[in-house]
Amino acid sequence: MATTEFGKAVRRWRDRVAPEAAGLPAGGQRRAPGLRREELSQLAGISVDYVTRLEQGRASNPSAQVVEALARALRLSSVERAHLFRLAGLALPDPETVPTYITSSVQRVLDRLTGTPVAVYDASWTLLQFNQPYAALMGDPPGPHDKNRNGVWRHFLGTGIPARRTPEATRAHEISLVSDLRSAAAQYPADRRLRTLIAELRANSPRFAALWDSGAVSRREPAQKTIHHPRVGQLTMDCDVLTVAGSDLRIMIYTAEPGTPDADRLALLTVLGTQTLSG
């Protein structure tokens, strides 16, 4: 019964989310005003087949990660999110684990900054949500189960990002990443995924291990990033990280000085990226 009610709730909430509110193109003929299953699949990082089986009650025992991803994609309130967890037979995440819930106020910020690259990370630097300009700037982010989804892993062991830094800036960036992870580990001692991430980084990255074992700490400072984009060339932008009080989310925002060639390239990239994703 709970599985059937879970599917009904997902379908009901999917029908009420307007595509444009989720940063998706609203064109084409629609039988319902809300999101298509394919669009919910894209937003949540879950296969269309699995979304279908969940809605039809043919899939049982969704993981907490799946339920959290659906709650984010469906723009659920905290009360609705808690209800979805109950329908899935799951307890809400332990308060001593890294929060991954994107509040409705943060979601509104993300939805309204349609011309600015914005991404939301949790306290361990795992990407939770992003908008189309961010995907146009950085390329389509890794899937939710890809270890490169975590920014610390991606820097020390993975694919990296298309940004150029001086050796001094690289060292400062690495120290800030390790420092942030150290703070998260102290604040969320019950988070097994965080402990596993740190253990794997220490075992496989001598650079990370050296910084971790040295006890290096730092305060994150505003920074500039220079990105060489294959479609519009070089862009130098300010990268600011805002921390959300109470939820420990990190909102990363890229901007360029108005009236500069960088601002023009960023505006062009946003248009080109939107056209590509809408096609």
Q: What is the pLDDT of residue 279?
A: 27
Q: What is the pLDDT of residue 276?
A: 41
Q: How far is CA 23 from CA 136, 141, 274, in A?
A: 13, 16, 10
Domain residue ranges of the chain, discontinuous segments joined by +: 2-87, 104-278
Q: What single string gives the DSSP state of each residue in 188-216? A: -TT-HHHHHHHHHHHHH-HHHHHHHHHT-
Q: How far is CA 177 from CA 69, 122, 216, in A?
A: 24, 13, 10
Stated as kind and residue range, the H or E segment containing 271 is: helix 261-278
Q: Under a CB-based contact definition with an 8 Å cutoff, are residues 274 and 132 in contact?
A: yes
Q: What is the pLDDT of residue 201?
A: 97
Domain 2-87 is of which CATH architecture?
Orthogonal Bundle (1.10)
Which residues of the chain fall below pLDDT 50?
A: 1, 276-279
d(CA 150, CA 126): 4
Q: What is the 3-state secondary structure (H, E, C) of 76-100?
A: CCHHHHHHHHHHCCCCCCCCCCCCC
Q: Please calculate the CA angle 100-104-106 and round it to the nearest 5 degrees.
A: 70
Q: How high does pLDDT run on average in the chain?
A: 88
Q: What is the pLDDT of residue 165?
A: 83
| 104-278 topology per CATH | Beta-Lactamase (3.30.450)
Instruction: Give which of 47, 92, 39, 51 is closest to 68, Cα–Cα.
Output: 92
DSSP type of residue 23: T
Q: Under a CB-based contact definition with an 8 Å cutoff, are residues 218 and 181 in contact?
A: no
Q: What is the pLDDT of residue 6?
A: 94
SS3 277: helix
Task: Summarize pLDDT for 210-238 with one digit per residue, the tens.
Answer: 999 998 888 777 788 899 888 899 999 99
Q: Under a CB-based contact definition with an 8 Å cutoff, are residues 263 and 256 in contact?
A: yes
Q: What is the pLDDT of residue 104?
A: 79
